[in-house]
Amino acid sequence: MHDLDQMPGHLIRRLQQIAVAVFHAEVEAVGFDMTPVQFAALVRVSENPGIDQITLAGLIAYDRTTIAGVVDRLVQKGFLSRAVSEKDRRAKVLHMTDTGNEALTRLRPAVDKAQDVMLSGLDRQEAEDFMRLLHKATEAVNGLSRAPLRSASKAAEKT
Amino acid sequence: MHDLDQMPGHLIRRLQQIAVAVFHAEVEAVGFDMTPVQFAALVRVSENPGIDQITLAGLIAYDRTTIAGVVDRLVQKGFLSRAVSEKDRRAKVLHMTDTGNEALTRLRPAVDKAQDVMLSGLDRQEAEDFMRLLHKATEAVNGLSRAPLRSASKAAEKT
DNA sequence: TTAAAATTGACAGCATGCTGATTATCAGTA
DNA sequence: TACTGATAATCAGCATGCTGTCAATTTTAA
């Protein structure tokens, strides 16, 4: 199996590359400048107000050294607020701002559309199969990266 | 569809992240320090001796501003040689070195193994289906990124 | 209670990928 | 031939992601 085009890793990289481009295009069309990673972080914070950075990273499988920069940019855009936790002075807790909630509302349709575009080459049944296999493949090897996906378990809700 | 875990873009990013980690692990196990992108470039140069950087970029869907750095590192490792083309003084043509060919031979088994690990959560039939859908989905949206895949057409064979 | 271990966050440094600009060269045409 | 446009490569700058290290703080254990 020495044909590059038949290697899963090569095809996955390519699809990810296209997915990011599609995301940017759709999001820009509604007047925002946001990356897929920033969007995912925003969604998770809105679902878990008061979450700390490490727990957030686990929820989306980001490396802990990556999450800081992502949050930085969201704070700078005025979408998130960041404050030292009262319960653990090492931790910083995150909350949505009004601007952030507004942005999320306006972004969702664009992001949904981007998902459709990514899979536009597949019919309904194929897309469903593909998603199922993606899920299954990903779960089986979740622990193999430095930043595994972690369940929310103790996702916060306080300042 | 507002569940992040059901969004193709999110799952694709995750699988790509894992795929890279698996690749690194397998390649390191045989004593090399090489990225998936560097490996793909090496394979394509070995298949197309004397290729220029732009054509190489098209064969693997890299952005033209990314390929330079990738080639730089392969040249520095002694795996590739780079020289100004005699036919077009703008272009730089690439050739494998003996070291590069040796490395490729030793890397292939590790890379093959990495592909298996990536899809270890799927059985034979599922893996086959997944690859078919990956191919189909990718081809349909190939043109949507700045760096689309381009066929070899005029891949070179001279200095 | 004090020492060791774990945790949170940050930093430097490297490697993709992208946007946008610039330089050098080549090709086609007026 | 001289001008125009296209092309190959590079560069600056930004945003993921990673490795590895460090400081501050909390938790656990001796």
Using the structure, give the distance in angstroms from the CA atom of B54 to the C1' atom of C23, rounded to a whole number.
Answer: 17
Q: Residue B158 pLDDT > 50, yes or no? A: no
- Which nucleotides in chain C lie closer than 7 A to a protein CB? 7-13, 15-21, 24-27
Q: Is residue B154 part of a domain?
A: no
- A151 token code pair: 């369940």
pTM of the predicted model as reported, rounded to 2 decimal places: 0.91
Which H/E stretch holds residue A96? strand A92-96
Say what the pLDDT of residue A143 is: 83
Q: Identify the band that residue A152 occupies on the pLDDT scale cut at 50, 70 and 90.
A: low
* A7 close to B130: Cβ distance less than 8 angstroms: no
Among the residue ranges A133-142, B49-58, B70-79, B149-158, the one predicted with the least confidence is B149-158
A69 Cβ contacts chain D strand, under 7 Å: yes
Min CA distance, A134 vs chain B (Å)? 7
**φ, ψ for residue B51 (rounded to 5)?**
-70, 150
DSSP B78-130: TSEEEEE-SS-TT-EEEEE-HHHHHHHHHHHHHHHHHHHHHTTTS-HHHHHHH
Min CA distance, A159 vs chain B (Å)? 25
Total of domains in chain A: 1
CATH of the domain at B117: 1.10.10.10
The residue-averaged pLDDT of A114-128 equals 95
Which H/E stretch holds residue A129? helix A124-140
Q: Is residue B4 part of a domain?
A: no
B23:A14 CB<8 A? no
Query: For residue B137, what are the domain limits?
Result: 19-144
The residue-averaged pLDDT of B144-157 equals 65
Which residue matches tokens 């064969």? B59
Q: Residue A110 pLDDT > 50, yes or no? A: yes
The residue with greater pLDDT, A4 or B94, is B94
Tell me the chain B residues in contact with residue A127 when contact means C-beta distances shorter than 8 Å: 8
Say what the pLDDT of residue A1 is: 55
B16:A11 CB<8 A? no
Q: Is residue B157 part of a domain?
A: no
B136 Cβ contacts chain C strand, under 7 Å: no
- A53 token code pair: 């950075």
Using CA atoms, how far apart are residues B85 and A97, in angstroms rounded to an integer? 56
Length of chain B in residues, anyone? 159
Q: Is residue A85 part of a domain?
A: yes
* A12 close to B12: Cβ distance less than 8 angstroms: yes
Q: Is residue B6 part of a domain?
A: no
Cβ neighbours of residue A89 closer than 8 Å, sequence gap 6 or more = none
Which residue matches tokens 């972004």? A107
The per-residue pLDDT for range A41-61, each reduced to its tens digit, is 999 999 999 999 999 999 999
Q: Is residue B82 part of a domain?
A: yes
Q: Is residue B63 part of a domain?
A: yes
The SS3 of residue B134 is helix
Q: Is residue A94 part of a domain?
A: yes
* A71 close to A142: Cβ distance less than 8 angstroms: no
Q: Identify the band that residue A125 occupies on the pLDDT scale cut at 50, 70 and 90.
A: very high
Using the structure, give the distance in angstroms from the CA atom of B55 to the C1' atom of D2, rounded to a whole number.
Answer: 31
